[in-house]
Amino acid sequence: MRITVLAGGVGGSRFVRGVREECARRWPDGEGGTTASVTVVVNTGDDIWLSGVRLMPDFDSLLYSLAGVNDTERGWGRAGETERVSAELREWGVGWPWFTLGDLDLGTHLARTSWLRDGLEVSDVCERLQRRWPLGVRLIPATDTEVDTHVRVADPEASGDGSGSGEREMHFQEWWTRYRATLPALGFRQQNLADARPAPGVVEAIADADLVLVAPSNPVVSIGTILAVPGMREALAATPAPVVGVSPIIGGKVVRGMADACLPAIGVETSAEAVGRHYGFRRDGGLLDAWLVDETDATAATALSTEGLLAASAPLWMHDLDRSAALAGAAIDLGTAARSA
Ligand code: GDP
Ligand code: CA
């Protein structure tokens, strides 16, 4: 069973840990001749050059979480982290004072940047980083090109004619961490998209999969950025594998995080049904063969089903590993249903 997952950081990590666990339970290594392999196509839109180093927040969230070295209380970064270097950088006036880089985390960024300076591609660097721990899954960045997301916001002071109708653009990380996504976003734009291609192995992982899962990740800045890489949608449209999406929206609210600040900017309502319709169904030229929503959104599944679309409901809260694994199991089962539909 080859499963390929499209994922962002926090929602992505919880989901992928569930997929890994569920696969280990369903297909214990080699038993009955079936094994499972999981490949994760990771969002790179949050990546940024800061303080002289390259950060890849979503990749690192997945790496730390799957390796079991993550800080489970904070929900991001390394466990047992210290911030001595960040304090020094602040004294030097380097970097962003509102953006703390942990010392252990900086070790990762330095290693990554060192290998990039040696001329390695981003995907090669990611491959090296995950050799350190037995993750049980393979992580591939969506693209080797730097497609950092920029956010367009209203800025009355930026208008040259004094009309107060100006706009300005900032890196997604500044909008997200400095302004906590409270400045209304007018739009999101990924850099260098025209030159971007899926990283080596991505198209193959989608084409050769038995099942493609879209994690309950931010539909705009995580999944949206992965899909925006030229060639990605074509690969997904062409795969013989069913594509099953899991809703990041439960009961009209985002779960953990500030994704509700992103959906309005692209004109999508914050609801499980709207996000499913936004991804669209392959039958109509969209992404999905099936859409999984929370139990409390069962009416959304019914509404889609009456149109002949495959949708189901299951508990989508990933409170612990057991519940994440059960959710992954429901998504795998929905894939089986899609295959026989
Ligand atoms: P980020 O890159 O750290 O923002 O993380 P992702 O893009 O992977 O995921 C963020 C999304 O995960 C948010 O929009 C949340 O709604 C969703 N999310 C977080 N926890 C859960 C959960 O337990 N269940 C579901 N269904 N979605 C979740
Ligand atoms: Ca992210």
CA of 316, closest atom in ligand 1: 26
pLDDT at res. 172: 97
CA of 46, closest atom in ligand 1: 2
Take atom 27 of ligand 1 and give the residue whose Cα is closest: 248
pLDDT at res. 29: 77
Mean pLDDT on 40-52: 98
pLDDT at res. 106: 98
C-alpha 94 to ligand 1 mean position (Å): 31
Residues sharing a CB contact under 8 Å with residue 162, sequence separation 6 or more, in sequence order: none
- 30 or 295: which carries more pLDDT confidence? 295
Whether the per-residue pLDDT at 30 is higher than 80: the answer is: no
Whether the per-residue pLDDT at 165 is higher than 90: the answer is: no
* Each residue's pLDDT tens digit, 238-281: 999 999 999 999 999 988 777 788 999 999 999 999 999 999 99
C-alpha 178 to ligand 2 mean position (Å): 15
- DSSP per residue, 282-339: GGGTSSBSEEEEEGGGHHHHHHHHTTT-EEEEE-----SHHHHHHHHHHHHHHHHHHH
CA of 324, closest atom in ligand 1: 23
Give CA–CA dist 254/31, Å, rounded: 39
> Which of 305, 289, 279 lies closest to 337 in space, CA to CA?
289
Whether the per-residue pLDDT at 60 is higher than 90: the answer is: yes
pLDDT at res. 240: 98
Q: Average model confidence (pLDDT) for the chain?
A: 95
Q: Say which CATH topology domain 195-340 has.
A: Rossmann fold (3.40.50)
Whether the per-residue pLDDT at 36 is higher than 90: the answer is: yes
Give CA–CA dist 139/62, Å, rounded: 8
Identify the band that residue 151 occupies on the pLDDT scale cut at 50, 70 and 90. Answer: very high
Ligand closest to 223 (CA) is 1
pLDDT at res. 75: 84
Question: Pocket around ligand 1: residues whose beta carbon is below 6 Å from it?
Answer: 7-12, 14, 58, 61, 216-218, 222, 247-248, 250, 254-257, 259, 316-318
CA of 7, closest atom in ligand 1: 8
Ligand closest to 148 (CA) is 2
> Which of 129, 148, 152, 117 lies closest to 60 in space, CA to CA?
129
pLDDT at res. 189: 97
Ligand 1 pocket test: pick from 222, 270, 292, 293 the residue with the most ligand atoms within 8 Å of its Cβ.
Answer: 222
Mean pLDDT on 50-71: 97
* Alpha helix positions (H), 68-151: 84-92, 103-117, 122-129
Phi-psi region of 231 (alpha: psi -120 to 50; beta: other; left: phi over 0): left
pLDDT at res. 154: 87
pLDDT at res. 43: 98
CB-based neighbours (< 5 A) of ligand 2, an ion: 8-9, 46, 58
Take atom 2 of ligand 1 and give the residue whose Cα is closest: 9
Q: In 10 A of CB 195, how many CB atoms? A: 11
Tell me the domain boundaries of the chain: 149-190, 195-340
pLDDT at res. 312: 98
Residue 117's Cβ-count burial label (10 Å; 0-12, 13-18, 19+) is exposed
Residue 178's Cβ-count burial label (10 Å; 0-12, 13-18, 19+) is middle
Angle at 5 between CA 289 and CA 196, to 5 degrees: 100
pLDDT at res. 156: 74
Take atom 25 of ligand 1 and give the residue whose Cα is closest: 248
C-alpha 252 to ligand 1 mean position (Å): 14
CA of 253, closest atom in ligand 1: 16
Ligand closest to 320 (CA) is 1
pLDDT at res. 33: 73
Mean pLDDT on 221-245: 98
* Each residue's pLDDT tens digit, 283-319: 999 999 999 999 999 999 999 999 999 999 999 999 9
